[in-house]
Structure 1
Amino acid sequence: MIPIAKPYLTAEDAQAAYDTILTGWITQGPRVQEFEEKFAAYTGAKYAVAVSNCTTALHLSMIVAGIGEGDEVICPSMSYIATANSIKYVGATPVFAEVNQEYNLDPTDVEKRINSNTKAILLVHQIGMPADIDAIKKICSRYNLKLIEDAACAVGSAYKGQKIGSHSELVCFSFHPRKIISTGDGGMITTSRKDYYDRLRLLRQHGMSINDRVRHNSKKVIFEDHIEVGYNYRMTDIQASVGIKQLEKLDWIVTERRKIANKYHEALKNIEGIRLPLERERYFSNYQSYSIYLEKSFPINRNRFMQELLDNEIATRRGIMNSHRETAYKHLEDKVNLPVSEKLQDRSVLLPLYVPMIEEDVKFIIDTILKLTQLKTV
């Protein structure tokens, strides 16, 4: 079976975790700080704060941005459900907006949904393809709104020459195994604001005024205070030690992923009924996923296409979910009109893409797809 994805983890990563375990410092500590500093430098951000996953990163970002009860936050429905959930966590309401053919928020549709209760826009860089940050920032400036970036899929991607993570006040990343680099699980928030940085660090560790490392290294007895109600959203030093090694390989991993994506692109670009991902000029995708869209003119429907590939031991996944169609948000379905998002979910397929991926497997996937173009509609 050719899997849809798998993390690129090496003996070097395992050794880093092993070495950290032997130090005896396995929770949040010096390796976390090192990972944060190196991640900030990589993205071009002023600060970075490591957390337990991207969902907790989004939650804390909502809090420091001042989002709360009665507020509305505009976001895509076409995103993993954690995007909308993070808004609900702070008592605010997600307002689902339409996306464009690149799977990201349509700025024109976003602006139509702004009202007096709108407090922020949560922008998602879906499947690693950068969204139009400048257009959304202009809307935020025009209406005095906060901008938060859900960059769960976008580590290593770039927008107009700058790495994702350096454009906005709050940008959230994921290190889940389906992402470009992994720490098993884990997340990171980059920010340009010192006040956000300080509060994020406070909130991730129970609102504790003095962290464990400071107490451990102190030559005097000191006692912590818990300044506000916080959370246990810490990353461990074991995870961070792996993250440091993964970060060293990130650019190479992205280069290799883009080579595979280009093979798909070259082989499928002239196939009637298949629409390929669009990477605009000065947009740089890490190709966290490679999604193709099957037009009505394609010989078979999306579900049969996926089954035929599975019968040939090729794993795929459906198009990105629409949160308003999930049971948790089903009550909003009748109030939401998002035809582009729904068609993208219903007619898109994610193809296998991971590093390393052998040439024979890529060729077999392409050849199998080309054979399916010869099938008759049933």
Structure 2
Amino acid sequence: GTYDVDALGFNYRMSEVEAAVGLTQLDRLDAFQAARRANAEALHDGLQDLEGLTLFPLAHGPARSACYCVNAVLPRDGSVARDAVVDGLKRRGIGTSIHYPGPVPLFTYYSDKYGYRPGRFPVAEWLADQTISLPVGPHLADAGAARIVEAFRAAYAEGQAAARG
């Protein structure tokens, strides 16, 4: 189904098993975060020169990214087909996510409550339509980030070709 929010709420549920696993991982939190940051930096370094690609900064003033993932935002003009990029990455064994398949203000709850309609949030719509989330987790092998960069660059070229028709 389609990801949507039709009621305001919170999801704080965590099972006892999840809590137990989380507690055992706290000792490794610093190492996990260092691996995430190193992987995110490697992706930024390897992708920042792609024409039209936008990468969210890993730091802005005193703020630092938690490096949950790297969000690669394709050009606003549609010159790169997102589905083709995602398919190209999948064929190369790279898992991706589309975290928000639509802009949050246009989810049912907000559009019903506030009357928000398409076109009112052009930046949010662009981000929802053109963002691909790339993995950076500590589970990546030593060469994992380099493999993702290589795969993304090839898939990006395929996305450009697909957009041209």
The TM-score with structure 1 as length reference comes to 0.36
What is the distance in 2 between the residues matched to 1:370 and 1:299? Answer: 15
The letter for the 2-side match of 1:303 is D
What is the distance in 1 between the residues matched to 2:122 and 2:8? Answer: 22
Which residue is 1:325 aligned to? 106
What is the distance in 2 between the residues matched to 1:371 and 1:239? Answer: 37
More strand by share: 1
CA gap of 1:333–1:298, structure 2 versus 1, over 3 A, is closer
CA gap of 1:270–1:244, structure 2 versus 1, over 3 A, is same
User: 1:243 offset after TM fit, Å?
Assistant: 2.7
More helix by share: 2
Correspondence 1:359 to 2:124: no
Which residue is 1:161 aligned to? none
Q: How many residues align?
A: 155
What is the distance in 1 between the residues matched to 2:73 and 2:138? Answer: 23
Q: Which has the larger radius of gyration?
A: 1
Q: Deviations over 1:109-141 (max 9, x none)?
A: xxxxxxxxxxxxxxxxxxxxxxxxxxxxxxxxx
What is the distance in 2 between the residues matched to 1:372 and 1:333? Answer: 34
Which residue is 2:28 aligned to? 249
CA gap of 1:356–1:259, structure 2 versus 1, over 3 A, is same
Gaps of 5+ in 1: 1-79, 90-151, 153-173, 175-184, 187-234
Which residue is 1:341 aligned to? 124
Which of 48, 57, 76 in structure 2 is aligned with 1:269?
48
Contact 1:319-1:347 within 8 A present in 2 as well: no
What is the distance in 2 between the residues matched to 1:355 and 1:282? Answer: 24
Which residue is 1:368 aligned to? 151
Q: Deviations over 1:34-67 (max 9, x none)?
A: xxxxxxxxxxxxxxxxxxxxxxxxxxxxxxxxxx
Q: Deviations over 1:5-46 (max 9, x none)?
A: xxxxxxxxxxxxxxxxxxxxxxxxxxxxxxxxxxxxxxxxxx
User: 1:317 offset after TM fit, Å?
Assistant: 1.6
User: 1:334 offset after TM fit, Å?
Assistant: 2.5
Correspondence 1:286 to 2:66: yes
Contact 2:106-2:118 within 8 A present in 1 as well: no
Which residue is 1:314 aligned to? 94
Q: % of aligned pairs identical? A: 21
What aligned pairs does 1:1-378 form with structure 2 within 5 A after superposition? 81=5, 85-86=8-9, 186=14, 236=16, 238-278=17-57, 279-296=59-76, 299-320=79-100, 321-327=102-108, 329-331=110-112, 332-334=115-117, 337-375=120-158, 376=161, 377-378=164-165
What is the distance in 2 between the residues matched to 1:335 and 1:363? Answer: 38
The letter for the 1-side match of 2:131 is S
Higher RCO, 1 vs 2 (CA within 8 Å, ≥6 residues apart): 2
Contact 1:276-1:293 within 8 A present in 2 as well: yes
